[in-house]
Structure 1
Amino acid sequence: MIPLEDGFQDVIGKAARGLGLADEALARVAGVTADEVRRVKEGEFHEQVIRRLAPVLHLGGDALVALGKGEYRPRAVGTIPGFLAFNTHWADMTVNAYLVWDLKSREAAAFDTGGDCTEMLGAIRERGLQLQCILITHAHGDHIAALDRLKAETGAPAYVGEREPLEGADPFVAGREFRIGSLSIRTLLTSGHSPGGITYLVAGGARLLAIVGDSLFAGSMGGGNVSYADALRNNREKILTLPLETVLCPGHGPLTTVGEEREHNPFFVP
């Protein structure tokens, strides 16, 4: 099982950075000591301190505590016909990539490449798929590490949102729709973690899929490195407004659903 990408301490750290709150300022507003803030951010679980920090950071206290106690994990999505997830190593982390295909035509699309596309290439050959395109969620190195190889061995073109130009990938304007056999793939601009992050909404298969890159994780979200406010807004308005049963396919960590994250993600619950 793929572990959660973030623990409670990561969520607290991302929120504090996004809001521009240093430890001393956060401690003063929350009514705790700066040392207590530092210890929590280092992974020491202290429920009372966490509950004091949560409202200051605009995080759901119950959801944050559940994450800290290890009580949250998204329910298993199960097998989805025409869909495979790949979890590969890159540096000191693991990263996800995905393969989606039309069951009749066998036409397929890849989403990101992960650190190594060997397993994906094997799946394409074993299932007799024809890779039509490689769709990049964002241009961070862990998501495109095997792009050259995947293109060379399949002949498929690569595409990336225009705000993150990438050598070897054709840029497109968010809102473009791709078609793979009977599947439609809508593109949504979900920037914030990166300048032009794209969420791909895949309809026409067994489940509605949203390949979200690092915009959103099970129980957390990307770092909001470019704009924390934009990251929160795009997640709320463009991803978490999708139907509750929509399967969310993040760049790191396990699969989840819109319903799970609206109920359990500390960034987005009351």
Structure 2
Amino acid sequence: MIPLEDGFQDVIGKAARGLGLTDESLARAAGLTPDQLRRAKAGEFDERVVRRLAPVLRLDPEALVALGRGEYRPRDPGEIPGFLAFPTRWGDMIVNAYLVWDLGSREAAAFDTGGDCSAMVEAIRERKLRLGSIFLTHTHGDHIASLERLKEETGAHAYVGDREPIEGAEPFAAGREFRLGALSIRTLLTNGHSPGGITYLVSGGPRLLAIVGDSLFAGSMGGGNVSYADALRNNREKILTLPGDTVICPGHGPLTSVEEERRHNPFFAS
């Protein structure tokens, strides 16, 4: 079982950094001592402390407390025909890559490569799929570490959003639509964590899939490394407005859904 990418302390840290709050200013605004804040940021859960921090950080207190208590775990969507997830190791992290295929034509596409594409290549061969495309959510090293190998093994063509061009991948402007047999792949700009992060919305199969990279995690989100405001806005307006049963496929952590994150993600629940 893939663990959550972030604990409550990670959410606190990301929100504080995004809002430009120093430890001193955060502790003062929340009415906490520096030691109380230090303990919380180190992962020591104290509900009273967390409830004081939540409004200052513009986080939902109930969702943040549930995360701190270990009560939140998204429901497993179960097996989805024509879809596989590949959690791979990259350094001390687990990073996800995904494989989607049209059940009729057996045409397939990969979404990111993770740290090692071996399991994905094996699955492609076992299922007699034809991998024609590799779509990159963004170009951070953990998501593209196996790109050249996957291209060599399959002959697939790689695509990347034009705000993050890299050698070996064709850039495209967000809004472009791709076809995968009977499936449609719509592209949404969800920048903020990275300069040109792309969410791929795959429709026409058994479930609507939103492959979001590091834009959104179960119970958290990617850090707003480029723009915290853009990251929040894109998640809220472009991902969490999708139908509630849309399966969210994040770059790290377990699969979740739009409904789960509307209700349980401290950044967005209300």
TM-score, normalization by structure 1 = 1.00
Q: Given the alignment of the two structures, is residue 50 of structure 1 paired with residue 53 of structure 2, yes or no? A: no
Deviation at 1:35, TM superposition (A): 1.5
What is the rounded CA distance, in whole Å, between the counterparts of 1:41 and 1:258 in structure 2? Answer: 27
SS at match of 1:268: coil
| Matched ranges for 1:166-181 at <5 A | 166-181=166-181
1:27 equivalent in structure 2: 27
1:246 equivalent in structure 2: 246
Deviation at 1:101, TM superposition (A): 0.2
What is the rounded CA distance, in whole Å, between the counterparts of 1:139 and 1:241 in structure 2? Answer: 25
What is the rounded CA distance, in whole Å, between the counterparts of 1:32 and 1:221 in structure 2? Answer: 25
What is the rounded CA distance, in whole Å, between the counterparts of 1:45 and 1:130 in structure 2? Answer: 48
Aligned length: 270
Tell me which stretches of 4 or more aligned residues in structure 1 moved more than 6 Å.
none
2:255 equivalent in structure 1: 255
- CA offsets, 1:73-130, max 9 Å, x none? 0011100000000001001101000000000100000000000000000000000100
SS at match of 2:36: helix
Deviation at 1:219, TM superposition (A): 0.1
Q: Given the alignment of the two structures, is residue 194 of structure 1 paired with residue 194 of structure 2, yes or no? A: yes
Q: RMSD between aligned alpha carbons?
A: 0.4
What is the rounded CA distance, in whole Å, between the counterparts of 1:89 and 1:188 in structure 2? Answer: 27
Q: Given the alignment of the two structures, is residue 82 of structure 1 paired with residue 90 of structure 2, yes or no? A: no
1:122 equivalent in structure 2: 122
What is the rounded CA distance, in whole Å, between the counterparts of 1:51 and 1:76 in structure 2? Answer: 28
Deviation at 1:179, TM superposition (A): 0.3
- CA offsets, 1:30-87, max 9 Å, x none? 1111221111001010110100000000000010010000000001110000000000
What is the rounded CA distance, in whole Å, between the counterparts of 2:246 and 2:192 in structure 1? Answer: 22
SS at match of 2:179: strand
2:109 equivalent in structure 1: 109
- CA offsets, 1:172-218, max 9 Å, x none? 00000010000000000000000000000000000000000000000
SS at match of 2:134: strand
Q: Given the alignment of the two structures, is residue 159 of structure 1 paired with residue 166 of structure 2, yes or no? A: no
1:133 equivalent in structure 2: 133
What is the rounded CA distance, in whole Å, between the counterparts of 2:11 and 2:29 in structure 1? Answer: 18
SS at match of 2:131: strand
1:221 equivalent in structure 2: 221
- Structure 2 residue ranges without an equivalent (≥5): none
What is the rounded CA distance, in whole Å, between the counterparts of 1:82 and 1:61 in structure 2? Answer: 38
- Structure 1 residue ranges without an equivalent (≥5): none
1:143 equivalent in structure 2: 143
Percentage of identical aligned residues? 79
